[in-house]
A and B are shown apart, each in its own frame.
Chain A
Amino acid sequence: MSALKEISIGGGQGFWGDSPDAAIDMVQNGNLNYLACDYLAELTMSILQRQKNRNPEAGYARDFVDLFSRILSDCHKNGIRILANAGGVNVLALVEKLKVVVKEKGIANYKIGYVLGDDLKEDLPRLMAEGHEFINSDNGKKLVEIQDKILNANVYFGREPFLQCLQQNADVIVSGRASDSSLFLSPLMYEFGWKDDDYDNIARGIIVGHLLECGGQGSGGNFEYGWRDVPDLDRLGFPIARVSEDKTIITKTATSGGLVSEESCKEQLMYEIHDPANYITPDVVADISASELEQIGKDEVQLKNVKGKKRPDTLKLSIGYHAGYKVETYLNYAWPDAYEKAQFASEIIMKKMKRKNLKVEDIRIDYVGLNALHLDVANMDPEHVKNLNEVLLRIAIRTDTKEEAQKLIPEISPLQLNGPPGSSFFGGRARIQPVIGLWPTLIPRDMVQLSAHVVEVDA
């Protein structure tokens, strides 16, 4: 393998619902070899499972089909291979949609790879009967407590099935709950032929993924350091990694807005990481405790000194379950005495709730515009509070049953006519939303049977 070989990989999506613009720009202008798109946040799998329960054809990130149809021709022309965990809980339904797109574009001999086996919902009863307790990693409880409420169960898996698809020349690979950073590691490992015990390089690939998997957060979005000075956020480019055997450069296209700086990379590097020396993933335990980021040019930052250790023998299994209901309600109040009026209104509503014998698991009364975000650390200086121009009263409850949640809803809008003066109401009547609980647990690696598949589509 040539020492000069360099692989470019772009991070095309930060989450399900992200803008497609940056991905489109980078396949046209980024000299990419690979585009990797992360669609799944902690809760997304459960939301997708709910969609699939209503409609067996649903359950994947539909946005990806649209993005795929917009970038397919350019990716095909430029030889860019795509990886996305957009399959959610219905990988096969997504594959069918992708086949249609490939045919529409008239592309011959296109190979779609896909990964199955991360969905363990149907296996749980058998595994529990065999004695596996699936202890909750946060609270130590046994899964049997919520057994009848389980919505979905998906394993966070790593590189192996992606490597198999790449070896079979898949042009696009879709999966369910692949760990975000595996989508980035896998092409690098495949291209450079890194071995399973090359922990430092595997960790480097994972950290590249970590810097790219949140899209714009690596290139000037959500940037506390200097958000005012980020150029052209309206056409924010997402980060691209240029990786060789001895160098890792984070950059972006010259045609896009945003910036790649030491600070933008620093804010992303420790994002959602706990112990920097032990970032546990399905592929490696990455160690960034001695890592360095150095600006080497405009929109070019070099990542150095990432270390790795052997990965654990267990995988994370995330189980979503029905956990009751919630309702959020809002009422506006204006100066003078906006806060006092809102408090007064909340007291009226609470008295009514007491009469209705409301049973809640949790309740919050917030004053949006005053302390709904910063809570205990908000500025509650009496002068400031007294002179608020306006405040939005927010009452939110979480209940076990729909009937309890319903009790709050009809009591809000009447306060416009029946409460403190000048109140207004918006957004229509509040709706009851189901609450999904997450049950994080571990499962031995050898109990998970992942499979890689590749189908060729003819135009």
Chain B
Amino acid sequence: MKKLYLKDIAHGRSGDKGNISNICVYPRKKEDYAFLKDYLTPTRVKDHFKSMVKGDVLRYEVDSLQGLNFVLKEALGGGATFSLRLDSLGKSMSSALMRMEIPVEDYDNYRKELGK
């Protein structure tokens, strides 16, 4: 069965402030916002990143933009100045989140419900 990744149904951008990374996530199709809101919980995001993100993950919802904003604390290996990471500013944090695998069945069920 073909795998479904977050990148297939969403897009976003990551930025940095000190050792904090933020990633905004929007659905590619607006009607998928409710699915993202339901599936992409802060706990799932935190678990996805394993030891890359040492601190808390907060999620803000902006319904009027169909957007989620994740704030990942202690996420950049010390922050732009201290971090020894190749990507010390976390420009690739968004694509790292976008490779989260989405259960195809869950998504298909959501789309089916929408169609009713």
Contacts and interface: CB of A to CB of B under 8 A. Distances in A.
A274 B15 CA distance: 10
B90 to A, nearest CB: 10
Given A276-B69, A291-B64, A435-B81, A375 B12 contact: no
B51 A376 contact: yes
Interface string B32-71: 0000000000000000111110000010101011010101
Contacts of B18: 42, 138, 438, 440
A314 B95 CA distance: 36
A100 to B, nearest CB: 34
Interface in A412-459: 435-438, 440
Given A42-B80, A263-B11, A435-B81, A270 B22 contact: yes
A75 to B, nearest CB: 30
The size class of the interface chain B forms with chain A is 35 or more
B65 A293 contact: yes
Contact of A291 (B16, B20, B62, B78): B62
B13 interface: yes
A366 B91 CA distance: 17
Contact of B15 (A272, A293, A326, A438): A272
A305 B17 CA distance: 26
Contacts of A353: none
Contacts of B22: 270-274
A274 B16 CA distance: 10
A276 B80 CA distance: 23
A294 B100 CA distance: 29
Contacts of B71: 274-275
A377 B51 CA distance: 10
Contacts of A288: 62, 65
Contacts of B92: 373-374
Contacts of B98: 224
A377 B80 contact: no
B67 A224 contact: no
A377 B69 contact: no
B114 interface: no
Given A323-B82, A366-B86, A222 B96 contact: no
Interface stretch (A76-84, A343-351, A391-399): A391-399
A292 to B, nearest CB: 5
Interface string A269-312: 11111111100000000001111110000000000010000000
Interface string B88-116: 00011011101110000000000000000
Given A270-B22, A270-B62, A376-B52, A225 B81 contact: no
Nearest to A372: B86
Contact of A268 (B7, B13, B85, B94): B13
Q: Which residue, of B20, B86, B99, has the highest number of chain A Cβ atoms within 10 A?
A: B86
Nearest to B17: A272
B24 interface: yes
A188 B27 CA distance: 33
Interface string A176-219: 00000000000000000000000000000000000000000100
A363 interface: yes
A440 B17 CA distance: 10
A42 B18 CA distance: 8
Contacts of A138: 18-19
A148 B31 CA distance: 56
A225 B11 contact: yes
Contacts of A374: 92, 95-96, 99
Interface in A1-53: 42-43
A305 B94 CA distance: 27
Interface string A339-382: 00000000000000000000000111010100011111101000
A12 B98 CA distance: 30
Given A222-B13, A274-B71, A376-B51, 17 more contacts: A42-B16, A224-B7, A225-B26, A266-B65, A266-B67, A268-B13, A270-B24, A270-B65, A270-B67, A270-B69, A272-B16, A273-B69, A293-B65, A323-B82, A362-B77, A373-B92, A394-B86
6 contacts: A270-B24, A272-B17, A273-B24, A288-B65, A366-B86, A438-B80
A-B residue pairs, 6 tightest by C-beta = A272-B15, A270-B24, A376-B50, A364-B84, A225-B11, A396-B84
